[in-house]
């Protein structure tokens, strides 16, 4: 699951655009109308992304990863990629991995969003 887009705390309307698989918009301000910090912006997106995981899978998750990178190497466009793996996916990956450690911890065989 990738969340990201431009974050401009100085924008008049606070337009902090974000996508979580589809067109999910992050509110530009808190209830008190204070500007949203980048940390709060990421926390909100991560919370929404994690909450979108089906309950049946959530109970089986043993690891969650957060990777922040810049879209097209542009620091004005940070992107947060959230990954996770489940015990069920781990068991399915063992046959194709070089060993159990790779099946468990190699991000390339983890569950994917989208």
* Residues 60-88: tens digit of each pLDDT: 999 999 888 999 999 989 888 888 999 99
Return the residue matching tokens 């500007």: 35
- Is the CB of residue 19 less than 8 Å from the CB of residue 10? no
C-alpha dihedral, 10 to 12 to 16 to 17, nearest 10°: -140
Q: Is the pTM of the predicted complex or chain greater than 0.75?
A: no
| C-alpha to C-alpha distance for 16 and 39, rounded to whole angstroms | 12
| pLDDT band with cut points at 50, 70 and 90 for residue 110 | confident
Task: Return the ∠ at Cα 61 (arms to 92 and 54), rounded to 5°.
Answer: 100
Other CB atoms closer than 10 Å to residue 21's CB: what's the count?
A: 12
- Is the CB of residue 38 less than 8 Å from the CB of residue 9? yes
* Residues 19-53: tens digit of each pLDDT: 333 333 344 444 557 788 888 988 898 899 889 88
**Quick check: 104 pLDDT over 90?**
yes
């Amino acid at each position: 699951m990738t969340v990201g887009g431009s974050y401009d705390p100085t924008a008049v309307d606070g337009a902090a655009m974000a996508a979580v698989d589809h067109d999910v918009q992050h509110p530009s301000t808190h209830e008190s109308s204070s500007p949203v910090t980048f940390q709060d912006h990421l926390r909100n997106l991560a919370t929404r992304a994690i909450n979108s995981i089906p309950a049946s899978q959530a109970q089986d998750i043993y690891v969650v990863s957060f990777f922040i990178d810049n879209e097209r190497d542009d620091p004005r466009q940070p992107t947060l990629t959230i990954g996770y793996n489940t015990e069920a996916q781990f068991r399915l990956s063992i046959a194709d991995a070089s060993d159990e450690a790779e099946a468990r911890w190699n991000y390339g065989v983890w569950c994917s969003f989208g």
